[in-house]
């Protein structure tokens, strides 16, 4: 869940952290809604197949679908019930994506560092060169 670093719930949570939590919660709600939208007709279909083919519990499509539903529930982790259990959740995926983006941003920002003379020279040189078409017309 979101709380400040001190763990004291009486302190104010920074707006950026609250907004991040809200956006992740909305993503989880969308994933949960999509899952429910897909599972509803699939569960009816699986149940009908189980009844028609008189499948035993070990081979039941409906029961397999329920297991898939439980697994997706843990992965969506809508109310942070599975965050600290070592399972892969949407929260963890967002955290890993955030780290990857920050790493990529840092890697692309390094060539523009103040000590890099190549970047400074190329910026000025590009502006001083006239287009090739204008040189031919003159």
- pLDDT tens-place string over residues 27-58: 999 999 999 999 999 999 999 999 999 999 99
Q: Report if residue 48 sits inside a domain.
A: yes
Residue 28, domain extent: 1-90
Tell me the pLDDT band of 109, cut-offs 50, 70 and 90: confident
Residue 119 included in any domain: no
Give the number of domains in the chain. 1
**pTM of the complete model:** 0.68
Q: Residue 105 domain-assigned?
A: no
Q: Is residue 120 part of a domain?
A: no
Could you tell me if residue 12 is inside a domain?
A: yes
Q: Is residue 118 part of a domain?
A: no
CA dihedral over 112, 117, 121, 124, signed as positive or negative: positive
With the CA atoms of 97, 103, 109 and 111 taken in that order, what torsion angle do they form, in degrees rounded to the nearest 10? Answer: -130
């Amino acid at each position: 869940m979101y709380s400040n670093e001190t763990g004291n719930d009486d302190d104010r949570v920074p707006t950026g952290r609250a907004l991040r939590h809200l956006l992740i919660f909305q993503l989880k709600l969308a994933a949960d809604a999509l899952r429910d939208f897909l599972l509803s007709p699939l569960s009816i279909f699986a149940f009908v197949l189980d009844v028609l083919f008189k499948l035993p519990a070990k081979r039941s499509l409906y029961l397999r679908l329920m297991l898939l539903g439980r697994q997706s529930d843990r992965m969506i982790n809508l109310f942070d019930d599975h965050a600290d259990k070592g399972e892969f959740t949407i929260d963890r995926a967002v955290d890993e994506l955030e780290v990857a983006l920050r790493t990529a941003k840092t890697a692309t920002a390094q060539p523009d560092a103040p000590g890099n003379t190549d970047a400074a020279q190329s910026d000025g040189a590009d502006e001083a060169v006239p287009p090739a078409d204008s040189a031919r017309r003159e």
